[in-house]
Amino acid sequence: MNLSLIDYGTGNLFSVRRALEVCGANIKVIHHPSEAKNSDRLVVPGVGAFGSCITELHRLHFNEAIAEHIATGRPFLGICVGMQMLMTTSYEFGQHSGLNLIPGIVTEIPNRTDAGEVRKRPHIGWTSLSESQPWTKTMLSQTTKDDRFYFVHSFSVIPDNPAHILATTDYDGYEIVAAVKRDNILGTQFHPEKSGPAGLTILKQFLSL
């Protein structure tokens, strides 16, 4: 199992790499698109603002490597902003074009509840997941309703097609898309590498797909 972890100058590389190594993956941190060609799995982490992340991804031509990898049918995983960049458009600090691999938008979590009360942002903390489609044969196949995962974000994705939503979580009455899936394209808004044993279980399932 050869897994490539894309280093595009941002993201949570160390903890993601360490978590995947614990799960048994042979990790190669790559700095050039050509290095992704023979990867069994490709992972894009992400921490920070969408605009700066997508700019660096394009500048280094990793957008092309990602598209080529996905076209082969091999599994791809985007984490946090790495998932958000799969969408068509982000409205974080302006308007930015994403990779459009899963049609949809990235928008700010509302700062008010339906009752008009203040909703804190960013959304930081541990929450459980709800099934949006069957998790059987997905990276969430071993996840239970009692498992909790670590989130830290102020923006969230809204896919155009609800069938691309794998899991959601509730944040103060607002439904957040927690995981997406389109064929071999997978993404998590939460950080599995920071989510203890439950997060490692998801990464192990990703490796076994």
Residues labelled catalytic: 80, 191, 193
Q: If you search the block for the tokens 């509302």, which residue do you land on?
A: 110
